[in-house]
Amino acid sequence: MKPAAAASEIESFLTKYSTQVAQQLRFARAKLRALLPNGYELVYDNYNALVFGYAPTERASEAVISIAGYPRWVTLFFLNGASLRDPHGLLQGSGTRVRSIRLAAPEDLDRVEVRQLIERALAPCQSKLAAAPPLRTILKSVSRKQRARQPSTTKALHPKA
């Protein structure tokens, strides 16, 4: 897919979200693209979320970090986060590999401790990233069936007691 067509398709994915979440996804994506001038941006508009994964190759299994948009927030995932040194205790999750940080605001990606985690995550694949072509966006999959991208008003009207 040509870059202009991919950009148009991605914009159509983003329009499904609230203005706030869409803006946060755009900001986070721009920040990660600036940090990763080489490699592949793998895009999945899947059942649960819109995901942008970053890898030195086209293989999803080699992705290092990703951002995902949910109806109420954006999450930064570290796909080998369980092995990252996290002196500030920012990483959430208990799986064997993946850890994440829910981004409260777009500026969270500029926090020193978050940037340090990103640098640590990217360090093992720096040579592969350096050898990769200029960053290419690849639409990997689009699920026909998807959860709503807008927050449910039912939850807001009927919070759990």
Residues 6+ apart with CB under 8 A from 141: 44, 45, 46
The residues facing 75 across adjacent strands are 68, 102
Predicted structure pTM score: 0.88
**Model confidence over 7-32: pLDDT tens digits?**
888 998 999 999 999 999 999 999 99
Could you tell me which of 152, 146, 153 has the C-alpha nearest to residue 50?
146
100: phi then psi, degrees, rounded to nearest 5: -150, 165
CB 39 within 8 A of CB 21: no
Q: Does residue 74 carry a pLDDT above 90?
A: yes
Dump the DSSP string for 70-126: -SS-EEEEETTGGGS--TT---B--SSS-EEEEESSGGGGGSHHHHHHHHHHHGGGH
Quick one: pLDDT at residue 5?
83
Any idea what DSSP says for residue 151? P
Quick one: pLDDT at residue 6?
84
CB 43 within 8 A of CB 139: yes
Q: Does residue 133 carry a pLDDT above 60?
A: yes
Quick one: pLDDT at residue 150?
77
Q: Which amino acid is at 153?
A: T
SS3 at position 17: coil
